[in-house]
């Protein structure tokens, strides 16, 4: 959370700058392979985190159901 609080405004400023340079064209965000790879890694990490959370919640519900 601390990293997000520190880097959030910097990331927002850089995004605004990139969109200003590209005159609002969002394709600049995926115009080279590097950002595409980073977006894929981010999507995989978020998906993995969500699936892991869902599995833990399901296991916890099953455990509670067995004790009732």
Give per-residue pLDDT as tens, 37-53. 999 999 999 999 999 99
Mean pLDDT, the chain, integer: 91
With 70 as the cut, is the pLDDT of residue 68 above it? no
What whole-number distance in Å separates Cα of residue 31 and Cα of residue 27?
Answer: 6
Q: Which of 31, 5, 4 has its CA nearest to residue 19? A: 31
What confidence score (pLDDT) does residue 4 get? 82
Residue whose structure tokens are 């590097």: 34
pLDDT reading at 67 higher than 80 = no
**What percent of the chain is modeled with pLDDT above 90?**
62
Q: What is the pTM for the complete model shown?
A: 0.65
Give the C-alpha distances (Å, rounded to integers) separating 41 from 34, 47, 50, 52, 64.
11, 10, 14, 16, 35
């Amino acid at each position: 959370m601390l990293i997000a609080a520190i880097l959030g405004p910097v990331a927002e400023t850089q995004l605004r700058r990139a969109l200003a340079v590209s005159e609002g064209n969002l394709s600049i965000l995926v115009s080279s392979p590097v950002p595409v790879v980073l977006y894929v890694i981010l999507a995989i990490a978020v998906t993995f985190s969500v699936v892991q959370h869902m599995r833990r919640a399901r296991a916890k519900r099953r455990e509670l159901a067995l004790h009732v």
